[in-house]
Every structure is written in structure tokens, then in C-alpha cells.
Amino acid sequence: MWEKVEEEMQEFKNEFNAESSEAINKEKAMAEFGDLLFSLVNYARFIDIDPEEALERTNKKFIKRFQYLETESAKDGKVMGEMTLAEMDIYWERAKQLREQK
């Protein structure tokens, strides 16, 4: 089953490589992305992982990290809309480290 996931990932990547000199065909890319998601969901079920629960956990993790980024950067006097991605990444990495320490 993992080979199918890899195959779909390659097809998704190929869609972007084929269109690199032109605008991306959004419809084709969306179709390939859907195929990739479908194969990942099937693989998750095959290894007894609930894909909805896994996604929900990731969403919650993202929200906590983003809230940390907002709170801690504000404490340092920074404004979210004015921060560079590199600056935000520092707070993001700190949030990840805090999670790992727990």
C-alpha cells in the first residue's frame, strides 16, 4: 500500500514539474492532490490509524503552536503582520521544543 502513496506523490510532483515554465493547471493539480490524500487515508486505515483523528490532533497541535507564536511574540513587542517568516519560525521552533519537553 505504501507504494501507492509514493506513486500518487510522484504524480502530484510531476504535475508541478511539467508545468514549471507555465502557470500551474489548478484542476490537474487538485485532482492529483485528491488522489494523494485518498491513498494516504487508505494507508492509514490499513495500519489501523483513524485518519480523521490524526488530522484533528495535528490541527490542535498547529493551533497551540500558533497561539504560542502570537502570545510570545507580542510579549517581545513584535507585531505579527510585520514579522518575517524567519522571525516567526523562531517562535514556532520554540513551541515545538516546549511540546517535546512535556
CA 18 to chain centre: 23
The Cα 29–Cα 11 span in angstroms is 9
**C-alpha angle with apex 88: 16 to 100, nearest 5 degrees?**
95
> Cβ-count burial of 39 within 10 angstroms (0-12 exposed, 13-18 middle, 19+ buried)?
buried
pLDDT tier at 22, thresholds 50, 70, 90: low
At residue 1, the 3 state secondary structure works out as: coil
**pLDDT value at position 65?**
95
Mean pLDDT of the chain: 91
Using alpha carbons, list the distances in angstroms from residue 74 to 2, 7, 69, 81, 82: 43, 44, 8, 11, 11
pLDDT in tens, 53-97: 999 999 999 999 999 999 999 999 999 999 999 999 999 999 999
Using left for φ > 0, alpha for ψ between -120 and 50, and beta otherwise, residue 78 falls in beta
Whether the pLDDT of residue 17 is over 80: the answer is no
